[in-house]
């Protein structure tokens, strides 16, 4: 059987992991908790695992995928990042103005696929509202955008 460090280096050669998701992988692979904690400690010393950098990359990726703060924070939470770290990263790297600009881009992209609903203004706006909510944008931003003249039918 491979050592836990060999296994983690193989995994990290393919993509990055958060500390907790790497620990889960090692435990599922059958390594003892002491082996897991030693390996995680070694990976952190070598800077192969860093939850803050991992979170920053998740925010960058979320912006590229037109995701709002809430959805990005949820994705980070699912990967096992600490709530305080998530809040700090979101606050530092995701301004309200930036979230609004990303929501506008997402809305413009989605409007094209919803052209068939344009005859019914209520159905059209509901589809856009639901889409932006699923993307993780706040109700305040979504309502502001949908009420602007720029997005009226």
pLDDT digits (tens, 9 = 90+) for 57-71: 999 999 999 999 999
Predicted model pTM: 0.85
pLDDT single digits (tens) 101-123: 999 999 988 888 888 887 888 88
Higher pLDDT: 114 or 14? It is 14
Shortest CA distance to 74 belongs to which of 12, 134, 145? 134
Report pLDDT for 1. Answer: 54
Q: Is a pLDDT exceeding 60 seen at residue 150?
A: no
Domain extents in the chain: 4-45, 51-94, 97-151
131 φ/ψ angles, rounded to the nearest 5 degrees:
-60, -50
């Amino acid at each position: 059987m491979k050592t836990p460090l060999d296994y983690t280096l193989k995994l990290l050669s393919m993509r990055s992991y958060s500390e907790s998701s790497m620990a889960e992988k090692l435990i599922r692979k059958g390594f003892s908790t002491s082996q897991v904690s030693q390996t995680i400690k070694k990976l952190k010393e070598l800077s192969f695992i860093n939850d803050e950098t991992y979170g920053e990359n998740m925010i960058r990726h979320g912006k590229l995928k037109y995701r709002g703060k809430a959805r990005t924070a949820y994705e980070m939470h699912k990967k096992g990042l600490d709530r305080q770290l998530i809040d700090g990263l979101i606050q530092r790297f995701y301004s309200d103005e930036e979230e609004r600009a990303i929501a506008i881009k997402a809305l413009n992209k989605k409007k094209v696929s919803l052209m068939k609903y344009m005859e019914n203004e209520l159905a059209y706006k509901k589809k856009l509202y639901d889409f932006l909510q699923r993307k993780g944008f706040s109700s305040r931003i979504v309502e502001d955008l949908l009420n602007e003249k720029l997005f009226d039918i």
